[in-house]
Structure 1
Amino acid sequence: MNLLVIDTATEACSVAVQVDGKIYNRFEICPQQHSQRILPMIDEVLHEANITLKELDYLGFGRGPGSFTGVRIATGILQGLSLGTGLKVVGISTLAAMAQEASDKFKVNHVFAAIDARMAEVYFAEYAFSEGIVRLIAEESVLPPEVALPETAENCEYLGVGTGWAAYEALDVDNKVNVISDVIYPNALYMLPLALAQIEAGLAVDVEDIQPVYLRDKVTWKKLPGRE
């Protein structure tokens, strides 16, 4: 299966492609430069993989949560790529991507992912590692940092990933979580296994049906013309 995944939801910008089991990727921290960098990065990985867009089978993108502008950039780019190729798409949680990276690198079973959501809030989710991928516990939320940690933090050894921990001391005042400083941003490389799991489960959709995730209810996404 040939799969391309992109992400621009945070300060990081990343692209990964899997072709015949081989993986090629790019990752840059480039705040406010995503719209300039994402297309050249896509071209670079496709050239390195010696494949064209039309030879891909599926597309994926970091569907949020993250910065509103960043999520919209990835969504718009994905729309263009899919409309030009007819490929089906999957959306991957940015929180899950960081949890997947932590689980892959540190062989842990439990991860708390927290992204600084500004406005004194964090995007937050809890994950457990099972059968090679992380699986969401409860649901993704946007909430004040002082109430984010669930009671299970008392009973399990967790890793913490994302920008939320450094941004808000109140997120873990009792130091219950081992925060991993080198897993700060989502990376398309670690979205690949999550995207593949969705595809294998039959969850790939037409691009008209993709749903960016902002978590804040007051933010809306205008779908393609003709779609309500």
Structure 2
Amino acid sequence: MKILALDTTSGACSVALYSNGQITERFVQAERDHTRRLLPMVDEVLAEAELTLPGLDAFAVSRGPGSFTGLRIAISCVQGLAFSVDKPVVPVSSLAALALGARRTHPEWGESPIVTMLDARMQQVYWGIYDTQSPNDSLCPEAVQNPEQVLLSLETDGLAASFYGAGPGWHYEALAAAKAKERDLDALIHARDIAELAVPLWQAAKTLSAEELEPVYLRNEVTWQKRQKIRSR
């Protein structure tokens, strides 16, 4: 099985190849340079594995949530690549990938739930809760909320102090009241974790064609306003 994964969701750009259990990745923090770097990184990863696009089984990409521009860059690139060789695409949650990466970085966190957060701006965060049993699925619906709403939701879910926190969205001062065992605000999304999460989804035939692929913004009204502004130019 060979899956090429791409991500430009946040302040990093990464490409990873999953090939029969082995992963090759290129990762760089380049918040404003994604477009120029992405395709050369694809070429590097494929060349290292001595593969070409037709030799892949599928592509994987972060479907969101995340920044409007960041999501569109990777998704548009994957759509073009997948369409060119008629391969399926596996969409993966950016919050789930963030959780898997944090678990990989912090093996001492064990199997405790991880609450991941990305800054959604406008004093809000994108967030979800992930465990080891079903790492692709949040234990509650992924949401965009202000910090106070998140705190209330965490209390309602009964997590108490039995979870860890990961992601830059945890920087809001109000979230200090959340009783996480530990937090990693520097955690970032890696394409290697998107590739790992894509494997069981591909095996379960949870794929899309390039034409069907759409980003998940959660904050649909903001996305609509941005699209309207772009179309009016």
- Asked if Structure 1 and Structure 2 have the same fold, meaning a TM-score greater than 0.5 normalized by the shorter chain, the answer is yes
CA distance in 2, matches of 1:13, 1:74: 9
2:111 corresponds to which residue?
108
Q: Indicate yes or no: 2:177 matched with 1:173.
A: yes
Two-structure CA RMSD over aligned residues (Å): 1.8
Larger proportion of strand: 1
Deviations 1:52-102 (A, max 9, x none): 111000001011111100101011101110111100001111110011122
CA distance in 1, matches of 2:179, 2:127: 17
Larger proportion of helix: 2
2:211 corresponds to which residue?
208
TM-score by length of 2: 0.88
1:140-179, aligned counterparts within 5 Å? 140-149=142-151, 150-151=154-155, 152=157, 154-166=159-171, 168-179=172-183
Q: Which runs of 5+ in 1 are unaligned?
A: 223-228
SS in 2 for 1:139: coil
Contact preservation (8 Å) 2:93, 2:136: no
SS in 1 for 2:144: strand
Q: Which runs of 5+ in 2 are unaligned?
A: 228-233
Amino acid at match of 1:137: L
CA distance in 2, matches of 1:109, 1:49: 35
1:130 corresponds to which residue?
133
CA distance in 1, matches of 2:127, 2:23: 29
CA distance in 2, matches of 1:177, 1:146: 19
User: Identical aligned pairs, as a percentage?
Assistant: 37
TM-score by length of 1: 0.90
2:220 corresponds to which residue?
217
Structure 2 CA distance for partners of 1:122 and 1:93, relative to 1, 3 Å: same
